């Protein structure tokens, strides 16, 4: 049995195929655009977190304050404080007085910034929503192979198209060292110990 396609049916099939091709192309284009936007957002979050922390370390209150949406909430060792711009600038000035950040030579400053770039390139970025993200980064590497890292977390919010730090979370104790293979909640055994 053979089926004969008439001119009108043939044209409708071609039109449907063309419409599907255009729709598929639009979906792929939207996916690529979404991926690019996600990459741009992640880069912007890393840059804002870097500016905030670099300003803090180098004693540059202008750089630090420019990366913040005030009031800034800071949680250290379980105690929270709210900082306005004046308080943050005083804190950065105090850090500059106590540390060497403000008195570094240009070569030392470049080296510090280079080290910090590596830290923020390795930072863990999580988007909580379209306008909220967290950045977790290493403040101090482990003191010994059995110790954990000392971490910091910044919470950023996109305000008027610009990512700004709204909260800082730190702890003076290192995080517990995590095993290479995590235990499951259901069995309490690692994935390597479970029967296959």
pLDDT at residue 159 in the model: 94
Q: What is the CATH number of the domain that holds 75?
A: 3.10.450.50
Question: Residue 56's domain spans which residues?
Answer: 26-170
15-29 tens-digit pLDDT = 665 555 555 554 445
The answer to whether position 44 is within a domain reads yes
Tally the domains of the chain: 1
Does the pLDDT at position 38 exceed 50?
Answer: yes
Neighbour count for residue 64 (Cβ, 10 Å): 25
Its pTM surpasses 0.85: no
82-127 tens-digit pLDDT = 999 999 999 999 988 887 766 778 888 888 889 999 999 999 999 9
The answer to whether position 188 is within a domain reads no
Residue 183: pLDDT band (50, 70, 90) is low
């Amino acid at each position: 049995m053979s089926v004969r396609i008439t001119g009108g049916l043939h044209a409708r099939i071609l039109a449907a195929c063309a419409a599907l091709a255009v729709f598929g192309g639009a979906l792929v284009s939207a996916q690529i655009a979404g991926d690019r936007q996600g990459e741009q957002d992640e880069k912007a979050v890393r840059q804002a977190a870097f500016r905030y922390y670099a300003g803090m370390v180098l004693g540059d209150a202008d750089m630090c304050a420019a990366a913040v949406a005030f009031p800034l909430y800071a949680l250290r060792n379980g105690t929270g404080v709210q900082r306005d711009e004046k308080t943050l600038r005083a804190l950065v000035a105090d850090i500059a007085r106590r540390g060497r950040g403000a008195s570094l030579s240009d070569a030392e400053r470049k080296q510090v910034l280079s080290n910090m770039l590596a830290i923020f390139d390795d930072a863990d970025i999580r988007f909580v929503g379209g306008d909220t993200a967290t950045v977790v980064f290493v403040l101090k590497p482990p003191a010994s192979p059995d110790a954990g890292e000392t971490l910091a977390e910044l919470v950023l919010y996109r305000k008027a198209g610009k990512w700004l730090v709204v909260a800082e979370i730190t702890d003076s104790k290192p995080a517990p060292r995590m095993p290479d293979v995590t235990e499951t909640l259901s069995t309490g055994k690692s994935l390597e110990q479970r029967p296959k």
